[in-house]
Structure 1
Amino acid sequence: MSRFSTFFILLLSLLLAGPGYAQQVPAPAGKPSKAKPHRLTRKERKELAHRAALEEVTRQRVNLSPKDRELSESYFVDGIRFLLLEDYNKALERLLKAYAINPTNAAINYKIAETNLLSGNLQDATNFARVAVKLDAQNPYYYLLLAQIYASQKQYDEAAQIYTTLVRTVPNSGYYLFNLADLYMAQGKFEEALTTFEQAEQKFGPLDEISFKKQQIYLRQNKPDKALQEGESLMKTNPDEVRYVLAQAQLYATNRRFAEAIRVAEQALRQDPDNPRARMILADVYRLQNNQPESEKQIKLAFASPGLDIDDKVRILIDYVKQLPNPALNETARELAAITTRVHPREAKAFSIAGDIETVTGNRTAARANYLKAIRLDNSRYQIWQQVVLIDAELSQVDSLLTHTGQALELFPNQAPLWFYNGVGYQLQKQPAKAVKSLEYGRKLATDNPELLAQFDTQLGDTYHELKDYPKSDAAYEAALVFDANNAQALNNYSYFLSLRGEKLDRAKEMAGKLVKNHPDNPTYLDTYAWVLYRLKDYDGARLQLEKALRNTSDATVVEHYGDALFQLGEVDKALAEWQRARKLGGASSLINRKIKDKKLYE
């Protein structure tokens, strides 16, 4: 055995990769069969295609000297090796050298065509593939490659003609009718596809794949009756296959043939009593029939099955979330979420969606409990931490807010919102120095988010005021108002603190006036404006604003301020009555008792 022959056999045994185009090994000539076509794996198809090419190259079509034959085969094998390595330039170089020695070898033309296809040179790929087919009209791989090249160029008619010629020319190649039918379907040539599938049925008998494909065609042709007929045929020929029964039930439901859908779905349940998909079909049908109790019963039974994938349950619950809050759906959504967490106790996403449902239906405490369970299972999702922190803030649970922001910041130290709420937590806990530290650090992370930056500045304004660092407090408020001149919190707190300090009162009046113009019925903002006017000694203006505020509130601070304004206007008895009312309400200033006892204003 020659050195090349030994290498050739070795390489042939190693060829387990490379492009392949056949669906099955061609049967030996002269042995037609109506057996169902056996589908090979992608790896098997590639191996067979390469082996066929290697075997073909040894069959010379011209007289070559032994030296030229060995050289041609050597270049060819080398070319395939580079092709397998996806080094198309080197592969083409070697293959063209083999071609120069033996241009009429079909396998060499075939591999050059394949290499050009893979490297994107479709024109050369077409030319060499045509030659390969011409040189060996009995090799199915050559037709398949040429058809693929045509399809890559959207020359579908030419590709279809190649498949047709292949089936007609090459013995025992009827299984390529499936390729042709799929090509017709891709083009939207449904009648041609149906005709081709019928030819395949004549050759191989009834096949599930054909029925499925015909169903797709009939549905796209808006012929549901024919599609359903194919489904009934599938059920009849495969009585133990529940998947066909379920597909038929779904098809009946989609076409609003509810009685048949229920009948077939119940048939599926007789075959598989715990099948969740059958339950889901029934739930949908009953819902469309406005039978809500039965629909809810079926969907709960489906959710109770571990066979219904957690991701499917989450998708359904997300659809519920989009419809909430809704008194007709709130309780059902909660129950389905509870079932999901019970059936999937180790799935973080189950508790996460349960938390979302409790959030939108207004049960913050239950929502946070579910979110925390999700975090214990998977702490890597920032969005869940964010929800927990927001709920802590909304419930004013300061200890929880600080605990959870601290834990979250260990995992997500670059998330500015966490630093914001951490700072808010320290501020609410009367630790302004720690609050400033967190807020200033978070502010540096929020420079690309002007809206969040304004929230940091507003909160820093409040916190620096508590620290009596008034220049920094004023600068923070001014920065917040640069982004949003109507920032209600900044306008209110800044103007009120200026009034308490008796500084920049004209600026305070401007801001408070804008605030009540934007919010004319807000008693807190009216009280702020009134107190700025009071500090400007505009007692009549203060009285007017306070009387507006008292239409919507009985807050002790507002009542006490009203008494102060009345006192300044000389109405001492009325002022005393208002001070007494403020003390009774609770929450007045520490000076209220002295005011009442001495009937005198203290500030």
Structure 2
Amino acid sequence: MHIKTYILCFFAFIIGCSNIFAQESKANTTLQTKLSLDDQRKFDYYFYEAMNAKALNKYAATFDYLKYCIEIDSTNANVLYELGDYYNSLDKKNKAMDFYRKAITYDSDNFYYNMAYANLCFEFKQYSDAIEKYEALILKNSDNNELYIYLSEAYRLDGDLPKAIEALDKLEQVIGLNEKISIQKFQLYSMLKQEKKAFSEIQKYIDKYPTEIRYQILLGDLYLQSGKPHEAFMIYSKAKAIDPEDPYLISSMATYYEQTDNKAAAESELQTALVSPKMDIDTKLGILAQYVGTLQQNKKDTNVANALFDTLMTQHPQEPKLNLMYGNLLMIQDRKNDARFQYQVFAESEPTNPTGWEQMLSTTFPDSIDLAIKVCEQAISYIPDQPQFYFYLGVSKYMKEEYEGALSALQKGVVYVDPENVGLLSDFYGQMGDLFYNLGKQDSAFATYEKALQYNPSNVGILNNYSYYLSLTKKDLDKAEKMSSLTIKAEPTNPTYLDTYGWILFEQGAYALAKIYIEKALQYSEDGKEPISAEVLEHYADVLYKTDEPEKALEYWIKAKEKGDSKSKTLDKKIETKTFISE
């Protein structure tokens, strides 16, 4: 097993406590309120109903019942804990912390109350408080493995690495040798620059299990990652004596040769691994993926991996996953046409899997719109419930100015969008709004924009287009200005958004202010990659005319004309008359 696997497993082990009901323990009766028989009956009824509501995920009802309980007995630790859990679920951490703290006040021995409080301290980076709680909990629950992990992590984040190691040592005394713990101790010793102790953590497994090759490989990998290639090679050589055909050893040796600039040896090792009968196709693909990742990380030429893919494809000609991965490699190499062929093989072998069609689409959109349309239509014919293909079909047809077809595609696709995916719903309706406007249906456009913003009020593309089209119709300019101002706050160097805001100000008669923003739009267009459009140049000329610079205005009207992409109905007349003319 490679080191990445160990580390992932270790962190999976330490993440979060399960959300469980508080268990009863002996309460601090000196602090708790003594209830009358009648109040106790009421309390028991409301608490029972609260727990029933919680079990049914009726959180509002749960909270209401708990409020009744706390009004009857404000010192009941169980209710305080449940209220803490309620606020924690709402991400109101400060309130949750207060209720957990109160619960401990009235029941200081309860494990779950203390654990919830300690975990919030940990989350708030109050590590010293968390450490104190974990230490106290360990004294009473010395066989609880989880506590040692939390304690070690709290010490590590607090900067006390020796104490973090000490906590893991204690855990080892409880559960014995554990690979995840040893890997974490290796990392901690490495951070302390105590390399001898770090490597001895892995060596003890080799000493105990001398014929287990995986520990030899792991130690070699750690030496290699620590910049000790000679030591790594010595360990790998010992591993070869156990099993020279072990695929993971071969993979590690290939990485070693790659890092020591012996490409021929690296490729030879990988070729050996790929033809090994001991290795299944998924393992081979994993090794290839790791190798390509290493090449990218070390900024090496990924083309050396192509021959390895050719070897595998000869071995496994009917394995579509191989085509998918090879396509991904070719995309890294910017060989889109070759990648598309590999993706097409995958898509045709698994036509109901959206991945192949999505990857094909990535090789076409937005460079080859006709091809993108073809891919989307093919995908929809096999999997008609995937909204992403309708979306790109609609956008592609929009770019070809096939507005009716684009709108039809989006209207068909939006019904398949997950109601929870508000971002995608907003994008769908935003595109439909643009199409309605281009089809001359202004009222439908503005109503559709409103719907899009209901799903995502911060969608800057929609805010920009909606506000700009309002300005062109000279309607609701105050509303347009407010929406447009949000876009330049979100992206203050976006030339399109700056031009829109400037033009709205122009329509409001704030010419001096409009000039500032449109000049910024020109500046950021020149500084960045976005070309200056004829529209922006004409807007700048218009504002120059309104700020008493008619000669310069004429210069920019002419520049707008020379761009050749103007859709203005009045530009020629402005140049001819040297006067601003409103559309």
What TM bracket, shorter-length normalisation? 0.5 to 0.7
Query: 8 Å contact 1:249–1:260 — kept in the other structure?
Result: yes
Where in structure 2 are there 5+ consecutive unaligned residues? 1-173, 178-200, 223-230, 527-531
Partner SS, residue 550 of structure 1? helix
> Over alpha carbons, which structure has the higher Rg?
1
Once the two structures are TM-superposed, the CA of residue 285 in structure 1 deviates from its matched residue by 4.5
1:305 maps to which residue?
A: 275
Deviation at 1:545, TM superposition (A): 0.9
Find out whether 1:328 has 2:295 as its counterpart.
Answer: no
Q: Which residue of 1 aligns with 2:542?
A: 564
- In the TM superposition, 1:165-564 aligns within 5 A as 222=204, 224-225=206-207, 227-228=209-210, 253=220, 258-259=233-234, 261-262=236-237, 265=240, 279-280=250-251, 282-286=253-257, 290-293=260-263, 296-302=266-272, 305=275, 307=277, 308-319=279-290, 326=297, 327-328=299-300, 330-333=302-305, 336-359=308-331, 363-395=335-367, 397-446=368-417, 447-554=419-526, 555=532, 556-564=534-542
CA offsets 1:81-130 (integer angstroms, 9 cap, x no match): xxxxxxxxxxxxxxxxxxxxxxxxxxxxxxxxxxxxxxxxxxxxxxxxxx
Q: How far 1:499 sits from its partner (Å)? A: 1.3
TM-score, normalization: structure 2? 0.56
Distance 1:560 1:418 in 2: 37
2:574 to 583, 591, 595: 595
- State how far apart, in whole Å, the 1-side matches of 2:377 and 2:255 are: 45
* Superposed displacement of residue 580, structure 1: 2.2
SS of equivalent residue, structure 2 residue 544: helix
Q: Aligned in 2, Cα 1:444/1:306: closer, same or farther, shift over 3 Å?
A: same
Deviation at 1:330, TM superposition (A): 3.8
Residues 335 and 472 (structure 1), Cα distance of their counterparts in 2 relative to 1, 3 Å cut: farther
8 A Cα contact 1:324 1:361, kept in partner: no
Task: Tell me the distance in 2 between the aligned counterparts of 1:548 and 1:254.
Answer: 53
1:347 CA drift (Å): 1.7
- Asked whether the 8 Å contact 2:253–2:266 carries over to 1, the reply is no
**TM-superposed deviation, 1:539:** 1.8
Residue 366 to residue 324, structure 1, CA distance change in 2 (3 Å)? farther
Q: Distance in 1 between matches of 2:498 and 2:235?
A: 67
Structure 1 position 558, deviation (Å): 1.4
Distance 1:386 1:222, change over 3 A: same
Q: Is the 8 A contact 1:280 1:299 kept in 2?
A: yes
Distance 1:279 1:221 in 2: 21
Mark the CA change 1:474 to 1:361 in structure 2 (over 3 Å): closer, same or farther.
farther
State which of 555, 558, 563 in structure 2 corresponds to 1:580: 558
Question: How many Å apart are 1:505 and its aligned residue?
Answer: 1.5
Counterpart amino acid of residue 406 in structure 1: E
Unmatched 5+ stretches in structure 1: 1-186, 191-218, 232-245
- State the distance in 2 between where 1:376 and 1:586 align: 43
Query: Partner letter of residue 404 of structure 1?
Result: V
Find the aligned partners of 2:460 and 2:176 in 1 and give their Cα distance. Answer: 64
Q: Secondary structure at the match of 1:393?
A: coil
Kindly indicate whether the alpha-carbon contact (under 8 Å) linking 2:327 and 2:343 is maintained by their aligned counterparts in 1.
Answer: yes
Q: Is the 8 A contact 2:203 2:219 kept in 1?
A: no
Cα distance between partner residues in 1 of 2:480 and 2:214: 71
Equivalent pair of 1:253/1:285 in contact (CA under 8 Å): no
Matched-pair contact (CA < 8 Å) for 1:324–1:360:
no
Q: Which residue of 1 aligns with 2:145?
A: none
> Cα offset for 1:220?
10
Q: CA deviation at 1:266?
A: 8.8
Q: Percent identity?
A: 29
Question: 1:531–1:561: 8 Å Cα contact kept in structure 2?
Answer: yes
Q: 8 Å contact 1:303–1:336 — kept in the other structure?
A: no
Aligned partners of 2:390 and 2:410 also within 8 Å: yes
Aligned-residue CA RMSD (Å): 3.5
Q: 1:461: Cα distance to partner?
A: 0.8
CA distance in 2, matches of 1:565, 1:364: 44
Q: Secondary structure at the match of 2:204?
A: coil
Change (3 A) 1:435 1:321: farther
Cα pair 1:531 1:542 within 8 Å, conserved: yes
